[in-house]
Structure 1
């Protein structure tokens, strides 16, 4: 068994029916061992001393008509060390359930709500769980990929895994048997920040490709011409493509603007470190504050005058 001291969320989107898991850990390849999703059935994450068979049994239970709590209890009853397990799940109706065994490394805990279950163990602080839940609940108007990403970022900002950082993943299943998104970052100094960067590129390059793939019960067809044309280009020349972390054709911030020369690996590390700040700046730029405060315009042609002091 592998101990995955981890923080994660399993969630469902009430608008689209998408099911997803986002997870981060201070061990490599967390995306290959924790998330398990079955289209139209549910999403499960298994962590601490991982037992993937519990996830499979839970999904089987949900498929047979059990509610999440019953499916979780039935799966745990088959395990000889449930005290070492941590699991979170949500079914296709958005009902969540979770389990944190008494043997999980502290701080450990979980929280469930409408459409989600968040959980973590070996956390820097107990309030990591609350920060994640608040991030998910506070982003209800967003698509599931963004809600999962914000939840993971909130956990990371609150301290995350107390040992440090190494890998992160985001997986979403929609109506097909193949994933809508399956993104992973491994062996990285800032895996959650890097996952945000990868997600931004995937939205512009991968999501259109997946949208043109064959569907169940429909003709296979072919990809639209514009998607084919995009994929025939080199990665850096596609929408959202990057060269040394910057958009194609734009000046490189570190070398061209600041004049700082770095090795490519060091540049990628620095950009990943500042990715949360850049994301927040982009979010603030998108806010429309006109209803809160009218724009203030300085016109040098107007007769401004100094206000005398007493």
Structure 2
């Protein structure tokens, strides 16, 4: 009931997930990413532990393919599951169970995997990948968004779309981007609106937060300077 992509930006090392679906609130349980580790999408009859345990296994040193293979082997509901993995090295892997709604399938390439079920056809995934590949100059969040827009333009989910998400991690343990549209007539369009607004109003604030390398952070530094300069 979803199409998604998991991806790594080879230029920045950022990792992320983008998804659009006919269910409400896809961003709540379908997307997982950890900086310097990997990203996972869990969908169809979703199992959140494919994301949670998948990142744990990749963090322990397994590649995306081996981590996914191990989890699927141990999952009694594997036939109705779908998942996509990408690790920090750009290795990707995906799984589509035999009993997921048709059309269903996945495509894996270097730095990206895209997967979907109950789609109009394979063209949704092909267009998603094409757009992702053709816009490597963009930062990962917008690149994911452009790919989702291209997939949606094919018709995507045969029952339409209700929610969408773009989730990206950079160097910190908190996300750089966490866009969620939980219920909308056109979630891809609403994601684009939120992206534009966040780029101007929110992302500069996120980039000014404390980091592991800079525990003070630029926003705190500026606030302290303004306080000390006040009469």
Interval containing the TM-score (normalised by the shorter chain): over 0.9
**Counterparts of 1:61 and 1:45, CA distance in 2:** 15
Answering whether residue 128 of structure 2 is matched by residue 132 of structure 1, we say yes
**Counterparts of 1:195 and 1:38, CA distance in 2:** 22
* Inter-CA distance 142–222: structure 2 relative to 1 (3 Å threshold): closer
Answering whether residue 46 of structure 2 is matched by residue 50 of structure 1, we say yes
Structure-2 residue corresponding to 1:66: 62
**Counterparts of 1:88 and 1:60, CA distance in 2:** 15
Answering whether residue 190 of structure 2 is matched by residue 194 of structure 1, we say yes
Question: 1:262-281 to 2 correspondence within 5 Å?
Answer: none
Aligned length: 223
**Counterparts of 1:32 and 1:139, CA distance in 2:** 27
* Inter-CA distance 109–178: structure 2 relative to 1 (3 Å threshold): same
Structure-2 residue corresponding to 1:98: 94
Q: How far is the alpha carbon of 1:125 from its aligned partner? A: 2.3
SS at match of 1:218: coil
Q: How far is the alpha carbon of 1:95 from its aligned partner? A: 1.1
Structure-2 residue corresponding to 1:158: 154
**Counterparts of 1:217 and 1:129, CA distance in 2:** 38
Q: CA RMSD in A?
A: 1.5
* Runs of 4+ that moved beyond 4 A: none
SS at match of 1:77: helix
Structure-2 residue corresponding to 1:149: 145
One of 70, 73, 76 as aligned partner of 1:77 = 73
Structure-2 residue corresponding to 1:272: none
* Inter-CA distance 141–217: structure 2 relative to 1 (3 Å threshold): closer
SS at match of 2:74: coil
Q: As a proportion of its length, which structure holds more strand?
A: 2
TM-score by length of 1: 0.70
Question: 1:199-238 to 2 correspondence within 5 Å?
Answer: 199-221=195-217, 223=219
User: Which string of whole-angstrom CA distances, capped at 9 and with x for unpartnered residues, describes residues 243-301 of structure 1?
Assistant: xxxxxxxxxxxxxxxxxxxxxxxxxxxxxxxxxxxxxxxxxxxxxxxxxxxxxxxxxxx
Structure-1 residue corresponding to 2:229: none
**Contact 2:84 2:113 (8 Å CA) reproduced:** yes
Q: How far is the alpha carbon of 1:104 from its aligned partner? A: 0.6
* Inter-CA distance 219–187: structure 2 relative to 1 (3 Å threshold): closer
Rg larger for: 1
SS at match of 1:122: coil
Structure-1 residue corresponding to 2:227: none
Structure-2 residue corresponding to 1:118: 114
TM-score by length of 2: 0.93
Q: How far is the alpha carbon of 1:126 from its aligned partner? A: 2.3
Q: How far is the alpha carbon of 1:35 from its aligned partner? A: 0.2
Question: 1:279-294 to 2 correspondence within 5 Å?
Answer: none
Q: Which runs of 5+ in 1 are unaligned?
A: 227-310
